Amino acid sequence: MTKLNIVDGYIDKVTIVGDMKRDGIEPLALKFLGNSLDPRVIGPYLINKGQYDRAVQVKTKDSTALIQVSSRKITVSDFRIEFNPSKCDEEDMKFIHYLLSLVKHKRCTRIDLCINFHDDVMGFKLVDKRRRGQVEYKSPSGRLETLYRGSEQSEDFIKFYDKKKQQKDVKYRDIEHDWCRLEETIKDKKAEDFEKWEWFKGIKLINSNPIFSEDIDPKDRMVARCIMAGLEDIKGLKPTYAKKIKKIIESVTYKDEFNVQEEIKKTSIVWETNEVLKKLLN
């Protein structure tokens, strides 16, 4: 197996909501944005998206922060910001920190954490101990380009994709080295409790065949292989037998495997992520 190394990792996107502090009935954050002469600020302009009726864009170093607010006093959060901290420079972050100081009861509702590899690992199999459903997109030649594990409507899901190709398709950038990205998104309650979240738990990249214990019945081994390959759905088995097969699958090992959670623990990525988020919510 190619020796894999996590090149780096960081927050790729974060969404924070809260309640704007007010001077009487006037929301301070909206007043600040409306009076700002900062050339990066575009808006506020009218929108019609659920509880929000105003939007502002703030151009950052390599992206755009989207801010949505409600000018009306409402009982739920009237402020929302979505942005990518890794694409902000120091001045961008100072601006966002000040803006968030005008908001109370702040909480995260979505966090995307990515890790990058400068190797072509799209030929590796992604093993997910949770056995979530998957959607994959391949090139005309059959090469995997993007893989989703779990539903985007759920509170957490995985995306594994060829970042080098994505950059060429979207930004017309030719990257000299290979670049693949593994990304996990957590939302709602899990995002609120981000310090307790175990990032990439049960996720492995493997480049070898599964190894089963010798005492496992050949029939059970065959069923487990079919489930692992996505040829059968474990939900179609009788509950008692499904439980048995699940345990067999969980006991499988691989000669060549990259345990993502264990490898990320060797870095400061999660600690740095938590520090950034705590400062934003302070």
Confidence (pLDDT) at 210: 84
pLDDT band at 259 (very low <50, low <70, confident <90, very high): very high
pTM: 0.86
Name the token pair of 51. 């509880």
In this predicted structure, the answer to whether residue 129 has a pLDDT above a threshold of 90 is: no
**Per-residue pLDDT at 260 exceeds 80:** yes
Q: What is the mean pLDDT of the chain?
A: 92
* Reported confidence tier of residue 58, pLDDT bands at 50, 70, 90: very high
Percent of the chain with pLDDT over 90: 70
**What tens digit of pLDDT does each residue of 10-39 get?**
999 999 999 999 988 889 999 999 999 999
Does position 168 have pLDDT exceeding 80, yes or no?
A: yes
User: CA 173, 176, 182: angle at the middle one, nearest 5?
Assistant: 80
pLDDT at 2 over 70: no
- Residue 51 CB: number of other CB atoms within 10 A? 14
**Tens of pLDDT, residues 219-235:** 999 999 888 777 888 88
Tell me the backbone φ, ψ of residue 273, rounded to 5 degrees.
-60, -50
For the segment 178-222, what is each residue's pLDDT rounded down to a tens digit? 999 999 999 999 999 999 999 999 999 998 788 899 999 999 999
pLDDT grade for 1, boundaries at 50, 70 and 90 = low
Question: Where are the chain's structural domains?
Answer: 22-101
Structure tokens at 33: 């944005």
Mean pLDDT for 135-145 is 92
Of 63, 77, 79, 83, the C-alpha closest to 14 is 83
